[in-house]
Structure 1
Amino acid sequence: MSITTVRIGSEADIVRVRQVAATLTRAFGLEKFAHTRAVTACLELARNALQYAGGGRIAFGAVEGRNHLMLTVSVRDQGPGIKDVERLLSGRAVHGTDGGLGGRGMGLGLRGVKRLAQEFDLVTGPEGTKIDIAFAAPNSPGTLAETVEAATDALMKLGKADPAAELAQQNQQLAEALAERELLINEVHHRTGNNLALILGLIQMSRRSAKEPETGRILAELEGRVHAVAKVHEELQKADNVDRLLIIPFLKKVASHGREAFSSEAQDIDIHVEGDDIWLHSAAAVDIGLIVGELITNAFKHAFAGRTSGRIAVSFRHEENPEKGDDHTAFCLIVADNGHGLPEDAGRPERSNSLGWRMIRAMTARHDGTIETDGSNGFRTVIHLGHGIAAD
């Protein structure tokens, strides 16, 4: 059963689509989260039609589903069609192979809409594209005819509404949506923290009860890796901005945990951390914490055999490349020990195929970094990282 149609020819029409979609989802009794999903999907399809096909139209309707009513949305355009639809929807599209619509363009939007809607159907060709989606309305206030009538009345009131009042209502809804989103995110972070703590507890219990030294060593290494991630999560929760982290205090906690995990009564290893107080993106902080954890683990395993004491120094500093200018400022991470070092005929450890060094190489490469090692006087690892890791 048809309800209304909106022509899409300009940005002003996108605003109208949002108003109509929001009004209809409320009339159909969609709860806040479902309401947001439906409005987001409608806006994405409308913008795609305008951007890639020069315009089109979006029709809203209703049908009776198996157990509840369905709000239907149909978007049609007369554009050139979409190439490689299956690749786009599966996420396998490659830049430059889909007429400019993949990668960060239409592919991401269409995949998102497909996930948001309960039903999704797409037909495309040289004469245009038609996309049909639908959203379940389990809390609809009445029968199909009654709900459509209520939705039509709501649309009529929308047409007569004061623009200022409509804007105020939209702002209020946005504020409520943001508050609800913050609560959901906080709940997710809380559960993530609990899960990480549980995993750490299980690893620690297993390590303490391990009978074979090799098993205990492997579990200690695993504990260090999980602990680094857990500490990043904990620090981000304390920070005002959850997308950045002050690196030196964080590395001190990683080092402290490494010392607690590997030191013993027979061997006391001191770990000193220094450097510049720099705010890094959280993803970069996670990787650097894991790198430092791996290098500290390697030092405990290999550097101090037969010794009762030793020292590991960790440094993270800002450095500049004067030849390339301020845009190429970068950072230097150094982890060095005063242990046995490497024999002259030893291979280059940074090329090792061990899990730890593979992780270090992968995380360094992720941030445009390079690795240098020196085993002539103790063992020293120097990692230069690109400027993109900084949050400021």
Structure 2
Amino acid sequence: MLIEYAVAPAAIATFIGGYIEALGLFGMTNSWPVYLVTYAVFVGIHLYGVGEALRLMFGITVVALLALVVTVFALIPHFDVANLFDIVPDDAVGASAFLPMGYAGAMAALVYGIWFFLAIEGVPLAAEETTDPARDMPRGIIVGMLILLVTGALMLVLVPGAAGSEAMSTSDNPLPEAIRAVDGSGSVVASIVNYAGLAGLIASFFSIIYAYSRQLFALSRAGYLPRWLSLTGGRRTPWVALIVPGTIGFVLAAATGDGGLLINIAVFGATVSYVLLNLSHIVLRIREPDLPRAYRTPGGVVTTGIALVLAVVAVIATFLVDVLAASITAGVFLLFLAYFWFYSRHHLVANAPEEEFAMLDDADTTLH
């Protein structure tokens, strides 16, 4: 998850650059100065304080949702089912008008489909900053998933359904481009959506910065990563955990400038974490069937088992999209595993919240 959260903002920074360039703001292009300003401003807000950051994040998200609503009303009158299937099929196995790049293309599309929902699993990282985590976390995740499902499906269908799948397949800012395709290059609505779409990217960028800082802080506090990474400042924000991944993300964005490549790296980290999350749920249900739970997954291990299979398929799909990026990311993941195996597992902090359950479980086993 940490790999996912460190790289995803870098991908988003490149898309922010694309939207800024499309708007012609300050004469800036989609390049490193945009990425630097993006990271500096929003990491800086998080450094100032979590309350301020979350309130601003909520406000930006509302603006982004309004942009999606405007896009829906602007594109519905121009929707044509034929536009969804205007990509000429290639000679891949299973290629057709419905699957123009065949079965392998559909599988590779999983990588980008996951992007609709990427980092929703970061919601629980706010557990220590909520009043009642047992009540608030499930509500927040379920509501968030439903909003993503509805808005993602609408954009997936309406944007190419109005402007054409072929035209939208290479776009860095598809929402305003789709509106311009149907309303003309001078469309005021497209400009409004472009600005609001930029707000949406900022909201994603903002929330994932929050997620990576809390994830890195928790791993460091428990001893899985060097302890100095969990240092906090005068405003009780984990400043090192904010700055270190931010620096890594900026370097990746500036060095590659390729949002698609960075998406594949982030999604590889996400899919591996999904495999482990689902597997952990199954193991926990078997080993601790009577453990008190504030929330129970509908369908239990059957639901999780299906999700586990889909997650494994998604991991494989990342190699179909970009074998080099997936392999490099897998190498980084193995380095983290080696660090854990040879060093950090021998230096875990027993009284950290993350380790309390394991410590109590060990004590209970010893007593019996």
TM-score range, shorter chain: under 0.3
Higher-Rg structure is 1
More contact order relative to length (CA 8 Å, sep ≥ 6): 2
TM-score if structure 1 supplies the norm length?
Answer: 0.24
TM-score if structure 2 supplies the norm length?
Answer: 0.25
